[in-house]
């Protein structure tokens, strides 16, 4: 199995859920740039350039590429240096980022260890999922609408809240910037490199999981 698994897919496609499953099953490091950015938002004494960069997140826009590289490359490096594989979850959202990561993997001599999996989903479906889902205010677990009725997190028992960027207006902006129109050129980039496979995110979580497991075994 490859050491670097990159997940692509629109917000709400279930790529985070599937990334966590690989992490749990194979002991890989989980690198979600969204989680890293939310952690940075909560920190005190954040550098001014980072604080300004984080503002675009609130509006549903992408944060500048340099902040992504600063956070993600450090996290990838420490996992690789420990001999661990990594799962990148939402860490690549435009072609410039895909190219920069590729350079980084080349420098680290791990470019042959990369596998890209897209969890495909139409933007309208993503919209419905994001608008209804909840997040645990303490551990950050994302909970789909149909499991959120109790109002408490099944993992840690804390309150479930609406993620600030899951409001209807911001979700529309996120899908404009991070939906299928944005993914298409990234998909083409990885197809050209021969690193790309896709799974249908409209199937059940279990079906997607077993398809991914089958694909990973073949590479």
Binding site for ligand AMP (CB under 6 A): 11, 33-34, 37, 57, 60-63, 68, 90-93, 97, 165, 174
Q: Which CB, 57 or 86, lies closer to ligand AMP?
A: 57
Q: What's 159's DSSP letter?
A: B
Q: Which CB, 62 or 198, lies closer to ligand AMP?
A: 62
Q: Which CB, 2 or 61, lies closer to ligand AMP?
A: 61
Q: Which CB, 188 or 214, lies closer to ligand AMP?
A: 188
Q: Least CB distance from residue 39 to ligand AMP, whole Å?
A: 11
Q: Least CB distance from residue 94 to ligand AMP, whole Å?
A: 7
Q: Least CB distance from residue 198 to ligand AMP, whole Å?
A: 19
Q: Which CB, 1 or 54, lies closer to ligand AMP?
A: 54
Q: What's 194's DSSP letter?
A: T
Pair 17, 205: CB distance under 8 Å: yes
Which residue's Cβ lies closest to ligand AMP?
A: 34
Q: Least CB distance from residue 139 to ligand AMP, whole Å?
A: 14
Q: Least CB distance from residue 120 to ligand AMP, whole Å?
A: 17
Helix (DSSP H) and strand (DSSP E) numbers for the chain = 9, 8
Using DSSP bridges, classify how beta strands 160-161 and 134-136 pair: parallel, antiparallel or unpaired.
Answer: antiparallel
- Cβ-count burial 84-104 (b if 16+ within 10 Å, e if not): ebbbbbbbbbbeebbebbbeb
d(CA 174, CA 166): 9
What the block records as the tokens of 89 is 């979850």
Residue (of 17, 9, 18) closest to 216 by Cα position: 18
Q: Least CB distance from residue 33 to ligand AMP, whole Å?
A: 3
Q: Which CB, 170 or 208, lies closer to ligand AMP?
A: 170
Residue (of 164, 145, 187, 183) closest to 60 by Cα position: 164
* φ, ψ for residue 89, nearest 5 deg: -115, 105
């Amino acid at each position: 199995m490859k050491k670097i698994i990159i997940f692509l897919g629109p917000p709400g496609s279930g790529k985070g859920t599937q990334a966590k499953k690989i992490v749990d099953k194979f002991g890989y490091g989980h690198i979600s740039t969204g989680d890293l950015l939310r952690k940075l938002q909560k920190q005190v004494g954040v550098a001014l350039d980072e604080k300004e960069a984080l503002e675009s997140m609130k509006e549903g826009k992408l944060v500048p590429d340099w902040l992504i590289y600063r956070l993600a490359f450090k996290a990838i490096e420490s996992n690789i240096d420990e001999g661990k594989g990594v799962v990148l979850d939402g860490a690549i959202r435009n072609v410039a980022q895909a190219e920069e990561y590729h350079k980084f993997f080349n420098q680290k001599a791990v470019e042959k260890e990369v596998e890209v999996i897209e969890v495909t989903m139409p933007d309208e479906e993503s919209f419905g999922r994001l608008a209804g889902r909840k997040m645990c205010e303490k551990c950050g677990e994302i909970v789909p609408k149909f499991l959120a009725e109790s109002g408490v997190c099944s993992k840690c028992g804390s309150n479930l809240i609406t993620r600030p960027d899951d409001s209807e207006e911001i979700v529309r902006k996120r899908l404009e910037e991070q939906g299928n129109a944005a993914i298409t050129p990234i998909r083409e980039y990885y197809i050209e490199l021969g690193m790309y496979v896709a799974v249908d995110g409209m199937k059940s979580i279990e079906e997607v999981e077993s398809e991914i497991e089958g694909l990973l075994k073949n590479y």
